[in-house]
Amino acid sequence: MLKSILAIVLVQLGSATTLLAQDIGPINTERPSFSSSPLALPRGYWQIEAGYDYARTLGSNSAKEHTLPNTLLRHGFYPRFELQLNWSGYTWSKSSGSETNGVKDASLGVKWQLSEDGTRFEAAFFAGLSLPVGDSKLSSDDYDPELAIFWTYSGGLDWFGTAKLTESGKQYKLQNAVGINFSLAGSTGAFLEYEGSYPEGQGPTHELNYGVTWLLSEDLQLDVNGSLGLNSRASDYGLGAGIAYRF
């Protein structure tokens, strides 16, 4: 009996050593762009991403909004499959003299990486469900479904994009984005991204997102980011900063 237990322990230690010895490369994050990465975390790994966002609208419809901590918890629970728990957190907003403060809804989802690592074109499918845990004035009070496709293409330029469909209150919203990644000096990177949102029964919004990332180690990344509204329905500009850590 003792020999059997010892054999099991040795096998588990060997598996853990193999996992730790894997060369999984630098951290791959979903923030700070709207688009998400098509790469799932390796099995057994966790990653937390968080940050602060500020959005501002000027003119007669003046509005501003602060959101924190925008937390995304990711876990690779099976090869090429990833579990995600997303929570925007607390928001402070003011529009036309009226204030709205409180906790937003969370969401739970699964990402399935469709392609092998290292291929020129990589893609993933995502299915999620919102959790009505927010304050009444900020919650949909329902379990709203979400489907998305994430992709990247590495050629002369490094392209990426997302197509997402959500449903809330029997109303659908389609969102899409396409962007380009740039490698700067050392471990610094940057991106530019177009984002469009097309809610059912309303006019679309168009934004230009941008940001800079710093890879401090293989498992730690910092970022600053911003956005510019491209039409009157979008916020005039936004600013943000964040961090991502893999363990």
In DSSP terms, 64 is beta-bridged to 56, 94
Model pLDDT, residue 215: 97
The residues spanned by each domain of the chain are: 31-246
Q: Please give the C-alpha separations between residue 106 and each of 70, 81, 88, 140, 142, in angstroms, as whole numbers.
A: 10, 20, 7, 11, 11
> Which of 163, 207, 160, 212 has its CA nearest to residue 191?
212
Query: Helix H segments across the chain?
Result: 2-21
Q: Low-confidence residues of the chain, pLDDT below 50?
A: 1-21
**Cβ pair 51, 32 in contact under 8 A:** yes
pTM of the model: 0.87
**Cβ pair 243, 227 in contact under 8 A:** no
Q: Which two tokens stand for residue 63?
A: 């509005």
Q: Which two tokens stand for residue 111?
A: 């990402």
Model pLDDT, residue 23: 72
- Give the pairing type, strands 121-131 and 106-113: antiparallel
Report d(CA 149, CA 214) in Å as an integer: 26
Q: Is 103 exposed, middle or buried (0-12, 13-18, 19+ CB in 10 A)?
A: middle
Report d(CA 38, CA 44) in Å as an integer: 18
**Cβ pair 69, 99 in contact under 8 A:** no
Domain spanning 31-246: CATH 2.40.160.40: yes
Task: Output DSSP code: residue 71.
Answer: E
In DSSP terms, 176 is beta-bridged to 163, 196
Model pLDDT, residue 20: 43
pLDDT digits (tens, 9 = 90+) for 28-51: 999 999 999 999 999 999 999 999
Model pLDDT, residue 4: 46
Model pLDDT, residue 211: 98
Q: Please give the C-alpha separations between residue 172 and each of 162, 166, 167, 177, in angstroms, as whole numbers.
A: 17, 6, 4, 17
